[in-house]
Amino acid sequence: MKTSAAGESSAMSVLDYDRTKELKAFDDTKEGVKGLVDAGVVNIPKIFMRPPDELAEKRDCHQNDIKVPVVDMSGVQKGDRHREIVEEVRIASEEWGFFQVVNHGIPSNVLEEMVNGIRVFNEQDPEVKKEYYSRDMMRKVKFNSNYDLFHSRAANWRDTLTISLTSDGLDPQELPAICREATTEYIKHVMKLGDVLFELLSEALGLKPDHLRAMGYTEGSSTMVCHYYPACPEPELTMGTSKHTDPATLTILLQDQIGGLQVFHENQWAEVHPIAGSLVINIGDFLQVMSNGKLKSVYHRVVANHVGPRISTAYFFSGARTEPAKLCGPLKELISEENPPVYRDFLVAEYIGKFMSKGLDDDSGLDYFKL
């Protein structure tokens, strides 16, 4: 992609700007945002510039000292400590929708190798990466920049390797060779941690420990998105990831030490400061519905940065996404006359269809399913 348009003013007349043409030209390079950086751009292309209202909100964001809860999972299987952890998870999930976990059982070398695996995948020969570049939703392993490139108001400053895990499993040979071993090992560990977290969340809702797991939300379909955020020459004009809620039941996020993740809490943005060896957990839209609004799926975003690359890996437990008849709705055990349903039952496929047809930066899709 030529960079002659990169320095055009954000005030450019819409009559002089063919957005669709620019998007296609960028996509056709199959080199993503890193390709722009490698080409030496000093001004970001207009397709990445956030709308004025969003930039105003970003400028008005003040740093604060509120901190996302941190849950120490050491002793999670032991009596008193187990009960304390359940309570900490409950409070964090109800009040924040986000928390970090430490002493979670995944070895630090597994986390480090996963982060490094995504780094080397993105920094290898572009011609090798291009073999994975695709917008085919049915492809299990694909690389691209902005899954919603042609639907969003503005593109995000990031590239992504997406890995879809279905109920029939994933052949490791489908993974890029350069990060295959690290990815396979990380997935194995993160699925085990998911089992533990779903048990804690079941108890936090007053249910039996195996309730959510028995519903198939730690098995079946899940998705892992591995983001690479190159250093941005004009971070004040764009976002790494625009604000959104997650189309999942639960998300486990591994991030490096650069930072940039923010969560919306009490009408302000709070930084999720990286803690070495920690993982970030957040409630997804499906779990907010299943809990009848008790647990919160909240807006979060990633700001662009002069420093980079920033690397993160989000593992979305979505559960049986590929079963068209899979229903999601408030759990009957949590519904009563005093606590009537807030959401209607809906097909998971209906939700996913709506999510994938809009930009990530659109409003949360949950409003559509409210009663």
Supply the pLDDT for residue 1: 45
Question: Does residue 288 surpass a pLDDT of 70?
Answer: yes
**Per residue in 3-61, pLDDT tens?**
444 444 444 444 457 999 999 999 999 999 999 999 999 999 999 999 888 777 766 55
- Cα–Cα nearest to 251, from 215, 213, 279, 293: 279
Question: Does residue 73 surpass a pLDDT of 90?
Answer: yes
Calculate ∠ Cα 165-167-168, nearest 5°.
90
3-state secondary structure of 102: strand
- Tally of helices (H runs) and strands (E runs) in the chain: 10, 14
Gap between the Cα atoms of 96 and 204, Å rounded: 14
Question: Does residue 361 surpass a pLDDT of 80?
Answer: no
Q: Pick 270 or 4 by higher pLDDT.
A: 270
Question: Does residue 313 surpass a pLDDT of 70?
Answer: yes
Q: What is the mean pLDDT of residues 179-199?
A: 96
CA 63 and chain centroid, separation: 22
Gap between the Cα atoms of 222 and 191, Å rounded: 10
- Helix pair 180-204, 79-95: axis angle to 10 deg: 90
Q: Pick 305 or 325 by higher pLDDT.
A: 305
pTM of this prediction?
A: 0.91
- Strands in the chain per DSSP E: 70-72, 98-102, 141-144, 159-165, 222-229, 239-244, 250-255, 261-265, 268-271, 279-283, 300-303, 310-317, 327-328, 346-347
3-state secondary structure of 77: coil
Gap between the Cα atoms of 343 and 293, Å rounded: 8
- Cα–Cα nearest to 230, from 253, 252, 258: 258
The CATH fold of domain 14-369: Jelly Rolls (2.60.120)
